[in-house]
Amino acid sequence: MSFQVVRDEVKRRIESRVWPQGSVLPTETQLAQEFDCARATVNRALRELAEQGFVERKRKSGTRVKMAPSKQARLEIAPPRHTVEAQNAAYRYALVERKVVTSPAWLASQLDVSPETRILHVLCMHYANNHPFQLEERWINIDVVPDVEQADLTQTSPHEWLLKAAPFTEAEVAFFATAADGRLAEFLATTRGIPVMQTERTTRLNGRPVTFARMTHHPGYRIRTSY
């Protein structure tokens, strides 16, 4: 029997989960018996499957079906300061506006709060090397985070302030492309109609809405991750 036949049968058993991820394969001697072939043939088959990433071979513990790499990318939703500084760029923050409002209807529905809910609305800019990096627009539920009403947001962005002061238990996030309208274009120093990426994020604390934020990234921004 050729090593290819052994290799393909072992591969079939791994793919069909006869031998599930993380399980230990029979020994080469056992496989040689089952397939009625030389142990060297099994060895060659397993060596090739190891090169292809299907199995891991360890001197002591034998051959094990490799855990599939995670098919999930992980994205850290970090404050822009971290992202900018990680690129060795100079970070600058500017508060544009802060105002206590009652929840507009769209936000009441987004956060599932009553329209009378008091909300701190914050608009601020993040810069990298003095170029616009991100416009952050954020609505914070004063009922759940009462301290925010007195918070100094002239030096610290609401994102960073909340990270320290307001725990959350659940978050929802969405990424999408949109065309910059006149206001976005002005903040991001670009042209109206330019495609930009937005990130929207809602966090809750045991079901109670903490904050809704819409981050508009500068044109050309790429969210990257590896796994």
Chain contacts with its own copies (rule: CB under 8 A): 15, 51-54, 66, 68-69, 71-78, 164, 167-179, 193-197, 205-206, 219-227
Question: Cβ(130)–Cβ(90) under 8 Å?
Answer: yes
Rounded Cα–Cα distance for residues 80 and 160 (Å): 9
SS3 label, residue 40? helix
Q: How far is the CB of 179 from its own copies (least distance, A)?
A: 5
Q: Which is nearer to its own copies, 18 or 77 (CB)?
A: 77
Q: How far is the CB of 196 from its own copies (least distance, A)?
A: 6
Q: How far is the CB of 82 from its own copies (least distance, A)?
A: 11
Which pairing describes strands 131-141 and 118-128: parallel, antiparallel, or unpaired? antiparallel
Residues 49-86 as b/e (b if ≥16 CB within 10 A, e otherwise) read beeeebbebeeeeebbbbeeeeeeeeeeeebbbebbee
Q: Which is nearer to its own copies, 189 or 223 (CB)?
A: 223
Q: How far is the CB of 59 from its own copies (least distance, A)?
A: 19
Q: Which is nearer to its own copies, 94 or 223 (CB)?
A: 223
Q: Which is nearer to its own copies, 118 or 208 (CB)?
A: 208
Which pairing describes strands 55-58 and 170-179: parallel, antiparallel, or unpaired? unpaired
Q: How far is the CB of 26 from its own copies (least distance, A)?
A: 21
Q: Which is nearer to its own copies, 68 or 96 (CB)?
A: 68
Residue 46 phi/psi, 5° resolution? -70, -35
Residues contacting residue 207 through CB under 8 Å, at least 6 positions apart = 169, 170
The structure tokens listed for 225 are: 């991750």
Q: How far is the CB of 97 from its own copies (least distance, A)?
A: 25
Q: Which is nearer to its own copies, 36 or 206 (CB)?
A: 206
The structure tokens listed for 198 are: 């937005």
